[in-house]
Structure 1
């Protein structure tokens, strides 16, 4: 295994251009997602730098650019809220005093960053166990409902920022309940105006300008300049101007964050880490598929999981957000010429240079601008194509998508994935059962026996013979149906059970064939099992079926 996959210097000019362009695009997203996560803008920047650098070097997708993404930010925001809330009002075991708000925030964030480390370790384990191919098997309705739900959550969480109600925080349902208590709903004209300008910019910026400066960055600069040069336009807002801006961002290199363990919530920490790992893996591998399509290459999914895991582990250890492969940044990189890990690593180096030399200039960025940028992120994540064709898609797929979407938005992300997978598995099992039962061939008259060989036709012609043929791999889902169908047959004193087209059977199907033998015995009918291969024959003998009934 090569230390750095897909590394070469034949495309160095394109990689430099792609890396710089991707870094410029990543800047507003990193700041916005850091703020949205509750961990702070600097956590978003550190996450973009660390995951972007190490996932590029040790991942399995050459042109992929990694960093904080919408889905990962949503989960991180929930994790931060969960653990900060847990410590609020609790007693500090060291001092014996009740946690102050700042102490609860500090401890909660430390726990949250520890879960990021756990998530990264889980991803490395996924890669070492070669689980990447299984993650790619996620049914599309589940993925669509999940991602659409995350997009909706991102949009809802930005409502306070866009409307200028900065004291409103919490979950999706909590935000709606708090907004209902606001008497003057659209009172902060300043925030709404800046958000509207930002949204108009990211959606309507001419492509000619977008070639030179990405729309999100142009919107961020435009919104900031409007507030700086025309503050009088917003002086009547309900919030003071200093409440409308990002404020100071720490500069310098990140410091090491010692992992913090709390025994009373260790199960919650592991669950949160697993959620980050699963979501990060899905998010990254979906982006890897997009990268494959536009670069005509093939990623290595298990290697990608290891690279993402290394990036997230280190990000958590240095106070950064968890990251994943970012579709927009990856496509920007490729379109600008990037093809190798050099481009992804360079994008991270550029962000590091900005943090070290220019973070102090970001303090004037309006929160409404960042909120509006994330609204655009949320709308981009929503699977509009699937929603547009929802009425014409199979009802089962549409049902799965809607259920997963609802659970994601209003209950729990992990539960949404679990419920979606169970529903998809049960529906698939039912379909396979129907196909397997429909493939059964039952013949009792010579008119039905034209496709049989001469020997079996002679037996049918002799009368009172039932020829019963199973086809394809038989599973536990169809086992009971086979017995139920066979039990409806009558007027025979000899049965031939043909398994020549059955390559494999499981324990439940073996039991069902044993029941068929018992049915024949109860009717005093002779039964012969023909065509069974060695594996099927052994399975039948192991279940206790008489060897004499199985023809060789």
Structure 2
């Protein structure tokens, strides 16, 4: 984490426009139009599934998508509402209302900007993969479960939000399936699945919506008694007016209440947007500025709530659509938002006709693609610790809450990481002889004679709180044997934390009380600076911190010989 460096905010749009050309604009224009068409049904579906209206889904895609492209650190990133947020957004609305969602999204935007300002863009990428897969698969199953009512036409109006209770209600009401609604859903599903087999450039979800909506409209007018619930039936006539910005009341109580949800939104946004950017970089050969991308995502999530929008992040599917259709600059992302804006202003009455079961089919396909079941199967061949993290995160996401899942999943990953580091960090003890080149690739070996009364302890790994405790326990068990000198060899210690310094200080003081000298060997510059700031050099003695083991052994041997000579004189005088 860099708290003192310069602000790393350099939007890709600015560098792109400096050498932009007409031919590049033509490519971006075509890609932007295609992505806008692909994004339309997804924005509507994600808005409805999140518990808001289709209008809000489109507004989020328009405003949020524009800001992600204009302020982000990736050239081809397409921003907007995504399936990953459906669960958390729906939960926040259920518990705290739309204003609670707006405040949580605003705070999430601020957290994202802070992550970017503190240069934490690269750190986010190191969140363990089993956690990402666990909660992504959990979200996929949760999204699928939310679409059963609309897909089968069960007609339920008060479905529980909890996963197990929800399926209990479904199973109790499966006798109320509406065959016509189910037929529309299955037909939509078939169109979405078959379309890519004809051409991968055709947006299957959009073709399904246009085709199935037209068929349902014709049949409902031609055949009496046939009716399938549409967006207009559920939400009424959709507005074509862009909402005016609105404020909301903030208080410390509200902030404390919504901070965990805001943290979850921020982490989800950071993970998904940087994952999308990484995939895009692999295809285009470009390089994302991770910190700028986080700041851009933060700006989008700060602005969108004032217009009633839901959280925004980078969308992998839409970003890849942009790339495959020739988009290479943020201009394509901006064009895609303009396409959505034109649809919003002039075609919203047609969106009222879209059947809800058709949108359910779109989200069922989205949930299948999110599930990553092949990846899950692959992780089950990994170590048991990775499997346990995945399973726990998955179950917590599905059965309890995404916020809890991320928090506990991260905690589990940290604990398992610390355990692995402690298991791999070795503490060796030497006496009598020491091979200087042991543990290196050197072919020439220099063996040092260690005088009686000298012990060498080598720490192989970071000297942080877990290892410090392990080292302290080893030293305590050997306190019965009182040598003249203890050498602590630290050539393989890349860093030392506060607990390591504290335990080292206690060791030095307790050793000095019984007349044992402590000599530190192979201390690198970073560790040396930490020891100097903690005044360990004053405590142990400046000359007792050596840069090489030969110097440390020579000093220790002299001290031990001097001790023996002194004892021999005392015995002779007695």
Q: 1:316 to 1:220 in 2, by over 3 A?
A: same
Match of residue 166 from structure 2: 175
1:202 to 2:215 alignment: no
CA distance in 2, matches of 1:157, 1:375: 9
Paired residue for 2:36, among 23, 39, 51? 23
What is the CA-CA distance between 1:487 and the residue it aligns to? 4.2
TM alignment of 1:316-465, pairs within 5 A: 316-436=305-425, 438=426, 440-446=427-433, 457-460=448-451, 463=452, 465=454
Uncovered stretches (5+) of structure 1, i.e. residues with no partner: 84-107
1:478 to 2:475 alignment: no
Secondary structure at 1:467 match in 2: strand
Contact 2:232 2:352 in 1 (8 A): no
Secondary structure at 2:347 match in 1: helix
Uncovered stretches (5+) of structure 2, i.e. residues with no partner: 1-8, 439-443, 547-574
What is the CA-CA distance between 1:135 and the residue it aligns to? 1.9
Match of residue 102 from structure 1: none
What is the CA-CA distance between 1:335 and the residue it aligns to? 0.4
CA distance in 2, matches of 1:269, 1:442: 52
What is the CA-CA distance between 1:292 and the residue it aligns to? 1.0
CA distance in 2, matches of 1:536, 1:272: 37
Match of residue 242 from structure 2: 254
TM alignment of 1:39-188, pairs within 5 A: 39-83=52-96, 108-166=97-155, 167-173=157-163, 174-182=165-173, 184-185=174-175, 187-188=177-178
CA distance in 2, matches of 1:314, 1:397: 38
Q: What is the RMSD computed on CA atoms of the aligned residues?
A: 3.1
Secondary structure at 1:7 match in 2: helix
CA distance in 2, matches of 1:357, 1:526: 84
Match of residue 500 from structure 2: 509
What is the CA-CA distance between 1:528 and the residue it aligns to? 4.2
CA distance in 1, matches of 2:71, 2:531: 48
Paired residue for 1:550, among 544, 550, 561? 544
Contact 1:163 1:368 in 2 (8 A): yes
1:467 to 2:456 alignment: yes
Q: 1:47 to 1:160 in 2, by over 3 A?
A: same
Out of 19-28 and 215-224, give the one that drifted further: 215-224
Contact 1:511 1:543 in 2 (8 A): no
Q: What is the TM-score normalised by the length of structure 2?
A: 0.82
Out of 198-207 and 287-296, give the one that drifted further: 198-207
Q: 1:149 to 1:334 in 2, by over 3 A?
A: same
Q: 1:376 to 1:443 in 2, by over 3 A?
A: same
TM alignment of 1:156-305, pairs within 5 A: 156-166=145-155, 167-173=157-163, 174-182=165-173, 184-185=174-175, 187-211=177-201, 213-231=202-220, 241=229, 248-261=236-249, 265-305=254-294
What is the CA-CA distance between 1:374 and the residue it aligns to? 0.7
CA distance in 1, matches of 2:519, 2:292: 52
Contact 1:527 1:549 in 2 (8 A): no
Secondary structure at 1:469 match in 2: strand
Out of 226-235 and 295-304, give the one that drifted further: 226-235
Q: 1:296 to 1:532 in 2, by over 3 A?
A: closer
What is the CA-CA distance between 1:40 and the residue it aligns to? 0.5
Contact 1:246 1:365 in 2 (8 A): no
CA distance in 2, matches of 1:333, 1:503: 43
CA distance in 1, matches of 2:117, 2:534: 37
What is the CA-CA distance between 1:395 and the residue it aligns to? 0.9
Q: 1:6 to 1:410 in 2, by over 3 A?
A: farther
What is the CA-CA distance between 1:368 and the residue it aligns to? 0.6
Contact 1:163 1:191 in 2 (8 A): yes
More relative contact order in 1 or in 2 (CA 8 Å, sep 6+)? 1
CA distance in 1, matches of 2:329, 2:540: 63
Q: 1:68 to 1:126 in 2, by over 3 A?
A: same
Contact 2:490 2:520 in 1 (8 A): no
What is the CA-CA distance between 1:399 and the residue it aligns to? 0.7
What is the CA-CA distance between 1:296 and the residue it aligns to? 0.7
CA distance in 1, matches of 2:34, 2:150: 28
